[in-house]
Copies of this chain bind each other. A is one copy, B any other.
Amino acid sequence: MSYPVVERKKTYRIGIVGASGYTGSELVRLLLNHPEVSIEIITSETHQGKLFSDLYPQFRGIANFILQPMEKLRECDVDLVFLALPHGISMKFVKEFGTDKFTIIDLSADFRITNPDVYKEWYKTDHNASEFLNEAVYGLPEINRADIRRARLIANPGCYPTSAILALLPLLKNNLIDPKSIIIDSKSGVSGAGAKPKDTTHFPEVFGNFSAYGLLTHRHTPEIEQVLSQVCDTVVSTLFTPHLLPVDRGILTTTYSVPTQDVSPADLLQLYSQFYLKEKFVRVCDTPPALKHVRGSNYFDVFVTYDKRTNKIVTVSVIDNLVKGAAGQAIQNMNIMFNLLESTALLNLPLCP
């Protein structure tokens, strides 16, 4: 017998703006295998005119896109645009293009913080498109699925916040922990810092090394606090400490918090399993997960336990920062918006070892 290949027109047309970074290349990796979506245009101001696969030779012979200037979008007929732009630039794009012509999934931080004053405080720049803040939906499907479906503008979550929020959500939703007691100790691979070389991401500096950075001041702090506070309807404050892991991808987050009532390790595991029962991409584990268990995939793996000696709840969770922490989650949001099966194009299994 022969395997039938049906060449059919794909249903949706999308654009990727700012495709020269890692988030852009990861969107391409995943979308090329999406059965319902075709990439109509990918843009880069810096590299316009270049072949995308000259920047990312892993796509040689597969993705023959020429990088376009953003302006070209005006001539394109696309249903949805992914913004893989730096913060500050995304808001300009939204202001200019609006959300009428196409829906937007913004992977920058620009529409995550609902209060423009808080945005200014942590990002050190004015918000110039604050009129869109109300419209923007925080694109974490596990908490916002219904709103995402109806949204015209998605603020795709940060990588650290995704790993921390999903780890703490069942505890806070059930009022099991003191919302002021939370410590988040995260460790991220270097791709989280972007594709642009810096002193701090120069190979000989990072190799064999490990360090904390952004101590007390990392910009993902207010995002985590805002989302957890909203969801749980109480003021949550967290101490967030990111560290730089000498690996390319992945975030492991360890959280510590103080319970407000009697808990046991078994109860907690049961609670988490129940809480995430219907979530395709959340795996509640009975042993602590490791970074490579999710490499290249859209999974969020989490373990929870309780230390009676010191009366603390501990969670350990992992994601691939470029997938569930960025491009994969964006596509999950897109699938929801397009009313497709949520896991479409996201079933690549983890690459391990």
- Measuring CB to CB, which residues of chain A are less than 8 angstroms from any residue of chain B? 1-3, 5, 11, 22, 25, 29, 32-33, 36, 56-62, 180, 183, 185, 187, 189-191, 195-199, 201-213, 215-216, 237-239, 241, 243, 245-250, 252, 254, 256, 283, 285, 287-297, 301, 305, 307, 309-310, 312, 314, 316, 339-341, 344, 347-353
Contacts and interface: CB of A to CB of B under 8 A. Distances in A.
B210 A245 contact: yes
A314 B25 CA distance: 31
A309 B118 CA distance: 14
B202 A199 contact: no
Total copies of this chain within the assembly: 4
A211 B1 contact: no
A57 B287 contact: yes
Nearest to A239: B310
A281 to B, nearest CB: 10
21 contacts: A2-B339, A3-B36, A22-B204, A32-B349, A33-B349, A58-B297, A60-B285, A185-B254, A187-B243, A190-B203, A197-B199, A202-B203, A207-B247, A210-B291, A212-B254, A213-B288, A216-B305, A216-B307, A216-B314, A239-B256, A295-B351
Contacts of A351: 29, 295-296, 351
